[in-house]
Amino acid sequence: MSDFFAPAALSVSELNACARQLLEQNLVGLWIGGEVSNLTRAASGHYYFSLKDARAQVRCVLFKGVAQQLSQPLQEGDELEVSGKISIYEARGEFQITINAVRHKGLGQLYEAYERLKQQLTAEGLFSPQRKRQLPPHPKVVGVVTSLAAAALRDVITTLRRRHSGISVIVYPTAVQGAGSEQQIAAAIATANEHAQADVLIICRGGGSIEDLWSYNEEIVVRAVAESAIPSVSGVGHETDFTLTDFAADVRAPTPTAAAELVSPDMAQLRHTVAQWQTRICQLLQQRYYDASQKLDWLARQLKHPQQNWLQQQQQLSDLQRQLQLNMQRQLRQQQQNLIQQQRNLNSLRPQTTHAQQALAYREQQLRQFWQNILLRAQQQLQQQASVLEAVSPLQILARGYSVVTNQRGHIINDGSKLKTGQYLNIRFATGERRVQVAPAKVQSDLFDN
Q: What is the CATH number of the domain that holds 249?
A: 3.40.50.2300
Task: Identify whether residues 202 and 260 lie together within a single domain.
Answer: yes
Whether residue 223 is contained in a domain is answered as yes
Q: Helices 219-226 and 108-123 sit at what angle, rounded to 10 degrees?
A: 30
Domain span holding position 73? 12-105
Task: Identify whether residues 240 and 157 lie together within a single domain.
Answer: yes
Task: Identify whether residues 74 and 155 lie together within a single domain.
Answer: no
Task: Identify whether residues 145 and 264 lie together within a single domain.
Answer: yes
Q: How confident is the model at residue 26, as a pLDDT?
A: 82
Q: How confident is the model at residue 112, as a pLDDT?
A: 64
Task: Identify whether residues 36 and 98 lie together within a single domain.
Answer: yes
Q: How confident is the model at residue 143, as a pLDDT?
A: 95
Task: Identify whether residues 161 and 249 lie together within a single domain.
Answer: yes
Task: Identify whether residues 144 and 67 lie together within a single domain.
Answer: no
CATH of the domain at 96: 2.40.50.140
Among candidate residues 238, 270, 302, the one where a domain is terminated:
270
The closest alpha carbon to 229, from 256, 262, 255, 191, belongs to: 191
Please, are residues 127 and 247 in contact by the beta-carbon 8 Å criterion?
A: yes
Whether residue 300 is contained in a domain is answered as no
Task: Identify whether residues 159 and 73 lie together within a single domain.
Answer: no
Contacts of 45 (CB under 8 A, 6+ apart): 63, 64, 67, 68
Whether residue 369 is contained in a domain is answered as no
Q: How confident is the model at residue 73, as a pLDDT?
A: 80
Give the total residue count for the chain. Answer: 450
Assign residue 91 a region (left: φ > 0; alpha: ψ between -120 and 50; beta: otherwise): alpha
Whether residue 32 is contained in a domain is answered as yes
The overall pTM is greater than 0.85 = no
CA distance 138 to 445: 129
Q: What's the gap between Cα 210 and its chain centre?
A: 42
Task: Identify whether residues 67 and 166 lie together within a single domain.
Answer: no
User: Domain tally for the chain?
Assistant: 3
Q: Amino acid letter at 358? A: Q
Whether residue 376 is contained in a domain is answered as no
Q: How confident is the model at residue 107, as a pLDDT?
A: 53
The closest alpha carbon to 256, from 188, 160, 135, belongs to: 160
Any idea what the Cα angle at residue 101 is, between residues 99 and 102, rounded to 5°? 100
Task: Identify whether residues 148 and 259 lie together within a single domain.
Answer: yes
User: Rg of the chain over CA atoms, in angstroms?
Assistant: 55
Among candidate residues 227, 247, 270, the one where a domain is terminated:
270
Q: How confident is the model at residue 447, as a pLDDT?
A: 46
Whether residue 445 is contained in a domain is answered as no
The closest alpha carbon to 50, from 61, 63, 42, 64, belongs to: 61
Whether residue 166 is contained in a domain is answered as yes
- Helix (H), strand (E), coil (C) string for the chain: CCCCCCCCCCCHHHHHHHHHHHHHHHCCCCEEEEEEEEEEECCCCCEEEEEECCCCEEEEEECHHHHCCCCCCCCCCCEEEEEEEEEEECCCCEEEEEEEEEEECCCHHHHHHHHHHHHHHHHCCCCCHHHCCCCCCCCCEEEEEECCCCHHHHHHHHHHHHHCCCCEEEEEECCCCCCCHHHHHHHHHHHHHHHCCCCEEEEEECCCCCCCCHHHHCHHHHHHHHCCCCCEEEEECCCCCCCHHHHHCCEECCCHHHHHHHHCCCCCHHHHHHHHHHHHHHHHHHHHHHHHHHHHHHHHHHCCCHHHHHHHHHHHHHHHHHHHHHHHHHHHHHHHHHHHHHHHHHHHHCCCCHHHHHHHHHHHHHHHHHHHHHHHHHHHHHHHHHHHHHHHCHHHHHHCCCCEEECCCCCECCCHHHCCCCCEEEEECCCCEEEEECCCCCCCCCCCCC
Mean pLDDT per 10-residue segment, the chain (450 residues): 64 82 82 87 89 88 84 80 85 85 66 80 91 90 93 91 87 91 94 94 86 88 94 88 90 92 75 82 89 84 75 86 90 90 81 78 87 88 82 71 80 79 81 83 54
Q: How confident is the model at residue 345, as a pLDDT?
A: 83
Q: How confident is the model at residue 18, as a pLDDT?
A: 86
Whether residue 282 is contained in a domain is answered as no
Task: Identify whether residues 82 and 166 lie together within a single domain.
Answer: no
Task: Identify whether residues 260 and 196 lie together within a single domain.
Answer: yes
Q: How confident is the model at residue 192, as a pLDDT?
A: 95
Q: In what order do the strands lie in the sheet with 232-236?
A: 168-173, 141-146, 200-205, 232-236, 251-252
Greatest extent of the chain over all pairs of C-alpha atoms, in Å: 162
Antiparallel, parallel or unpaired: β 200-205 and 141-146: parallel
